[in-house]
Amino acid sequence: MIIERMESAMPGAVLDHHAFRGDRTVVVLAGRLPEVAALLFEEGFQQLMDVTAVDWYEREPRFDVVYHFLNLVTQERIRLKAQVREGEALPSLSVRFRSAEWSEREVFDMFGIPFTGHPNLERLLMWKDFPGHPLRKDFPMDGGDAFCTGDTGTSYAGRACTLNL
Amino acid sequence: MERTAPTLERLDDHRMIVNLGPSHPSTHGTLRIVLELEGEYVLSATPEIGYLHRGVEKLGESLSYAQFVPLTDRLNYCSSLMNNVGYAQAVEKLLDLKIPPRAELIRVLVSELARIGDHIVCVGINAVDIGAYTAFLYLFKERETLYDLFEMAAGQRMHTSFTRIGGLFRDLPEPFLPLLDQFLESMPRSIDEMERLLTRNPIWVDRTKGVGRISAEQAIGWGYTGPCLRSAGVAQDLRKAQPYLGYETFDFDIPIGTCGDVYDRYLVRTEEMRQSLRIVEQCARRLREVSGPIIVDDYKVALPPKEKVYTRMESLIHHFKLVMHGIDMPVGEVYSATEAANGELGFYLVSDGAKSPYRIHVRPPCFPIFSSLNEQVKGRLIADVIAILGSMNVIAGELDR
């Protein structure tokens, strides 16, 4: 079993594991994420399908960052979870898994979780000077006053628009 | 690594910045790509996404599980039926629910029809973008029939909202199967006609062969799924690899390409249309034999029929409870993936037992594919950008959510 191998190869990295409806979840220590991902890669989990996060705003640490891996040979899936505090950074997986580049940008954009070692950690879906992180639970559903503040004219997007005028 | 988009300050005399989109007709929804050009060659391409971001995931957190179905229509609006099915599958996995056999069959049927529709749009528009207009028209005649079928089934052409948690919104109407038979008869001819126009057409081959070539390792690393991954030579199709909805009982093949270029992607999609037709044929045959309910008989999950609501107290209470308080959800999280037209469409649901999901995340198939655009177009001609973009089948609705 992959989880036992993870536990024996990296003692202390696996904090918890459980299964629900056939989905296996492994909670790992945030700092040792690259090690665990490297082991998974060697075990055949070569496709990082998805990176996302969940905001448990009353819990400490506040965020779960969730990674879904797929093993193309055995068709197994595994879910890694790392818990981070507000403002705490996670190591980026984009060196080994190129697909993490945009997914991590999206998590940064939507939740404000920074990733160290990311080649270009910018907002992805929202514009550059958008205030706040929309998928946090304390971000108001109607967007609040976010759209009234900030000066979009100074953003990169605003400048690039006028380049060919 | 310098990866930010180019701006005026960094510009010298030889280079030009071209904004492709957000309103360029070939940008498939509202995409914007900032191209840095030297002559006609692309030095870098920086995709800017988010123009169609509607906050679907945020909205889902305050809607009930059933209310989210219409939002899935608006993800990949070229094959909304498949999104409906993918989402319903995810919620049913969370509930550990088995749907009736006829509902499964109809879900397979509409998914495959939607896949054909999606491939028609992708191949047709890809051809239009690089100047071959006729093939598009041959295919769109068939797409019209497809949309008539969707309208018959769901009452809507684009935004179908056909699935319900635990089954379907309604059974197929009487005239559906006769029209489907007509479609099954004419569609192979239209594919042949299209292939005669494109497959050995020297201009088409020149424009697509070797363009956007990608190796299997690269494609896996970038998180490619669906036709784009298969055209690179990886026979990964969730319908075969991790069968759902009884796909294992159908007889069909998975076409794969060799080098992952635009031409191979076109060939894979064309063959997939034929394979989907095979599945649809088998479905149509089975549908005439399999009868029964199209939604689960559990009124804690699915609404009771209207006539019962109007005549029976129990059913009225069930209806009220379901609408006001929603389904009684278990606490837990699931990731459910289905093979959509464009690749793996994943839904990640986190439930805390409340009426609405605590977190709902969509894993759109074109998101990782589009993120590799810069690598694919670097050093190529600007005209190739259009061809590659078309073959990626980027749908802004699911890309931005």
Is the CB of residue B161 less than 8 Å from the CB of residue B66?
Answer: no
Stronger pLDDT, B50 or B110, i.e. the higher one: B110
Which residues are within 8 A (CB) of B10 and not within 5 positions of it... i.e. 6 or more apart?
A: none
Domain assignments of chain B as residue spans, ordered by start: 8-48, 56-400
Q: Residue written as tokens 């009220």?
A: B320
Residue B253 to residue B201: CA distance in whole angstroms: 26
Does B368 contact A at CB distance below 8 Å? yes
Mean local confidence (pLDDT), B111-124: 91
> pLDDT tens digits, residue range B364-378?
998 999 988 888 888
| Cβ neighbours of residue A127 closer than 8 Å, sequence gap 6 or more | A152, A155, A157, B50
CATH class of B56-400: mainly alpha
Residue A152 has a pLDDT of 41
Between A145 and B67, where is the model more confident?
A: B67
Q: Which residues contact A61 (CB under 8 A, 6 or more apart)?
A: A83, A84, A85, A86, A88
DSSP helix/strand/coil, B353: coil
pLDDT in tens, B21-75: 776 666 666 788 888 888 888 888 888 888 888 889 988 888 889 889 999 988 8
Give per-residue burial for B301-323: e unless 16+ CB within 10 Å, then b.
bbbbeeeebeeeeebeebbeebe
ipTM: 0.83
- With an 8 Å Cβ cutoff, are A156 and B4 in contact? yes
The Cα B274–Cα B263 span in angstroms is 17
- What residues contact B387, with CB distance under 8 A and at least 6 apart? B126, B129, B130, B207, B208, B211, B212, B262
A154 confidence band (pLDDT: 50, 70, 90):
very low
Tell me the C-alpha distance between B137 and B120, whole Å: 10
C-alpha atoms less than 13 angstroms from C-alpha of B37 in its C-beta half-sphere: 17
Is residue A10 packed enough to be buried (19+ CB in 10 Å), middle (13-18) or exposed (0-12)? Answer: middle
Report CB contact under 8 Å: A120, B363. no
A55 in contact with B, Cβ within 8 Å: yes
B173 vs A: CB within 8 A:
no
pTM of the shown model: 0.86
Helix, coil or strand: residue B63: coil
pLDDT reading at B82 higher than 50: yes
B66 Cα distance to chain centroid: 20
Contact B100, B296 (CB under 8 A): yes
pLDDT for B26: 62
Q: Could you report the per-residue pLDDT of B324-380, keeping only the tens digit for each?
A: 888 888 998 999 999 998 889 999 999 988 888 999 999 999 899 998 888 888 888
Distance between CA B197 and CA B193 in Å, rounded? 6
Give A47's contacts in chain B (Cβ within 8 Å): 220, 223
Residues of chain B with Cβ-Cβ distance to A134 below 8 Å are 55, 58
Of A99, A127, A163, the CB nearest to B17: A163
In order of their start, the domains of chain A are: 2-125 (3.30.460.80)
Average pLDDT, chain B: 87
Indicate yes or no: CB of B359 within 8 angstroms of CB of A159. no
Are B93 and A163 within 8 A, CB to CB?
no
Report the pLDDT value the prediction gives residue A163, as an integer from 0 to 100: 31
For residues A142-153, average pLDDT: 49
Of A125, A135, A163, the CB nearest to B49: A125
